[in-house]
């Protein structure tokens, strides 16, 4: 049990490492748009699809469950945790705004370049801040809970859902993202 609960928090950290790599790619596209170039909007569309099907749909709900266990089992370690679901919702909303920009641009609609650059930058900044808070504070509290009680998290509730880019490597759907990560020398085979 102890091994499995630690594995769970390690999965959350691994997700963060992967999301950080994807955010770097997204940030580069925003920087190229800011400097007047046309970024690869199909690539950005893939990035936002990835963000929807993995971080929003798997990573954040898993964290919500882990933090729920922390609130239940160790209320003295749970200050500010009630803000996390709203943070996750806000990140998903910023993501959906950005996805709407990109889909409209691909469909040929007139979306101002500045709107895209602002929405992409807001999304990258907000998600990075959130991940940093988790890594420097919340994950450490979860470590403390697990360290003192191997049964602190009931892992029966968790099902390991594989990451479509970093574990399943579904290149047919995430072709441009996979190629960008490979070019950047990142951990996709």
Q: In the complex with Fe ion, which residue's Cβ is closer, 13 or 151?
A: 13
Q: In the complex with Fe ion, which residue's Cβ is closer, 39 or 55?
A: 55
Query: In which residue are the tokens 């490979």 written?
Result: 182
Exposed/middle/buried for 96, CB within 10 Å: 0-12, 13-18, 19+? middle
Among 127, 5, 159, residue whose Cα is nearest residue 70? 5
Largest CA distance in the chain: 56
Contact 84, 138 (CB under 8 A): yes
Q: In the complex with Fe ion, which residue's Cβ is closer, 101 or 134?
A: 134
Under the binding rule (CB under 5 A), the answer on residue 63 touching Fe ion is yes
Least distance from Fe ion to the Cβ atom of residue 131, Å:
5
Q: In the complex with Fe ion, which residue's Cβ is closer, 56 or 101?
A: 56
Q: In the complex with Fe ion, which residue's Cβ is closer, 85 or 113?
A: 85
Helix ranges (H only) for 35-174 are 41-51, 60-73, 84-106, 113-133, 139-148
Which 3 state secondary structure label does DSSP give 159?
Answer: coil
- Indicate the residue whose CB is closest to Fe ion: 63
Least distance from Fe ion to the Cβ atom of residue 59, Å:
6
- The pair of structure tokens assigned to 74 is 């160790």
Least distance from Fe ion to the Cβ atom of residue 110, Å:
34
Least distance from Fe ion to the Cβ atom of residue 88, Å:
6
Q: What is the DSSP letter of 174?
A: S
Which of these segments, 27-35, 71-79, 107-115, 127-135, binds Fe ion (CB under 5 A)?
A: 127-135
Q: How many CB atoms lie within 10 A of CB 183?
A: 9
Which of these segments, 2-10, 58-66, 92-100, 156-164, binds Fe ion (CB under 5 A)?
A: 58-66
Least distance from Fe ion to the Cβ atom of residue 13, Å:
9
Site for Fe ion in 151-180 (CB under 5 A): none
Q: Which residues bind Fe ion (CB under 5 A)?
A: 63, 134
């Amino acid at each position: 049990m102890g091994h499995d609960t630690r594995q769970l928090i390690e999965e959350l950290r691994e997700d963060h490492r992967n999301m950080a790599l994807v955010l770097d790619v997204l940030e580069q596209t925003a920087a190229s748009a800011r400097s007047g170039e046309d970024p690869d909007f199909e690539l950005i569309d893939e990035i936002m699809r990835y963000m929807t099907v993995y971080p929003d749909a798997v990573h954040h709900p898993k964290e919500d469950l882990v933090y729920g266990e922390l609130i239940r089992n160790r209320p003295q370690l749970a200050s500010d945790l009630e803000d996390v679901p709203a943070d996750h919702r806000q990140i998903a909303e910023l993501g959906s705004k950005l996805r709407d920009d990109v889909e409209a641009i691909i469909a040929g609609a007139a979306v101002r370049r500045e709107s895209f650059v602002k929405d992409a930058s807001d999304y990258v900044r907000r998600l990075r801040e959130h991940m940093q808070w988790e890594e420097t504070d919340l994950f450490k509290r979860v470590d403390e809970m697990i360290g003192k009680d191997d049964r602190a998290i009931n892992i029966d509730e968790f099902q390991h859902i594989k990451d479509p880019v970093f574990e399943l490597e579904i290149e047919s759907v995430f072709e441009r993202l996979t190629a960008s990560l490979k070019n950047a020398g990142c951990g996709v085979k």
